[in-house]
């Protein structure tokens, strides 16, 4: 039996969650709304559509059909990343390389756009370690906690869901992996907003401990 590992990216391989919050906070401030972390963190692991729903529910301000808000965010993010590399999770790159040497087949399944996935994985020097870099944008509107991105990634790998292990740092991601019928191991990243990972099979920290659970 072949063994497959599917990694989330943000908060698992690169520590982008604090950055993304600050950029969204600045984006909404440009439109006259001050947001706090408690209203934001429910979208971690999901997508901007989920964030707009949380803003509507928490503040009563409706950006759900706004065509300006996401381009503003993307422009801020692009400008930042031109000047700064993505912050790596300590121990992630060496752990991924060790897993490749052990013969695992691996992919990334992320809610981030495809261009960012490819950019960040290249910055980590891990492009050759992954058979597939897969964005949830490819599966339409159903982001995590829906299982779509994980099921599509497994299908592209030619893997049965039961042969896949997912590595996640978010509540939405853990729920998505469970709904896909996959094992899920939780990485409790302290910068990901005290996520509820209670439905993960096991928690590991620091990242190098992942090797002990596979």
Q: Which tens digit of pLDDT belongs to each residue from 121-155?
A: 999 999 999 999 999 888 876 788 999 999 999 99
pLDDT at 124: 94
Query: What CATH number did the domain enclosing 146 receive?
Result: 3.40.50.1000
CA distance 191 to 163: 30
Structure tokens at 84: 């700064």
Last-in-domain residue among 63, 83, 103: 83
Question: 182: closest CA among 211, 148, 208?
Answer: 148
Do residues 123 and 160 share a domain? Answer: yes
Catalytic residues: 8
pLDDT at 141: 60
Domain that residue 39 falls in: 17-83
pLDDT at 1: 56
Structure tokens at 144: 């995590």
Q: How many domains does the chain have?
A: 2
Residue segments in the chain with a per-residue pLDDT below the cut of 70:
1-2, 141
Question: Could you tell me the pTM of the whole model?
Answer: 0.84
| pLDDT tens per residue across span 188-200 | 998 887 899 999 9
CA distance 166 to 106: 10
Last-in-domain residue among 83, 99, 130: 83
Last-in-domain residue among 83, 118, 138: 83
- In the chain, the largest separation of any two C-alpha atoms, in whole Å, equals 55
Do residues 75 and 131 share a domain? Answer: no
Element (H, E) at 58: helix 48-59
Do residues 157 and 171 share a domain? Answer: yes
């Amino acid at each position: 039996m072949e063994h497959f590992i599917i990694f989330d990216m943000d908060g698992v391989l690169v520590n982008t969650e604090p950055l993304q919050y600050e950029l969204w906070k600045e984006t909404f401030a440009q439109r006259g709304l001050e947001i706090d972390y408690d209203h934001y963190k429910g979208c971690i692991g999901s997508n901007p559509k989920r964030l707009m729903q949380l803003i509507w529910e928490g503040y009563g301000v409706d950006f759900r059909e706004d065509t300006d808000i996401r381009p503003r965010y993307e422009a801020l993010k692009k400008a930042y990343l031109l000047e700064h590399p993505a912050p790596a999770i300590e121990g992630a790159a060496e752990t991924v390389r060790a897993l490749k040497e052990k013969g695992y087949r691996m992919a990334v399944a992320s809610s981030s756009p495809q261009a960012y996935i490819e950019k960040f994985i290249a910055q980590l020097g891990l492009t050759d370690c992954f058979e597939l870099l897969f964005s949830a944008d490819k599966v339409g509107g159903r982001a995590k906690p829906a299982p779509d991105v994980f099921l599509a990634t497994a299908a592209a790998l030619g893997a049965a869901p039961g042969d896949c292990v997912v590595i996640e740092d978010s509540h939405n991601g853990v729920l998505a992996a469970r709904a896909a019928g996959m094992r899920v191991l939780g990485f409790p990243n302290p910068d990901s907003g005290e996520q509820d990972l209670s439905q993960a099979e096991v928690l590991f920290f620091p990242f190098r401990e992942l090797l002990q659970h596979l």
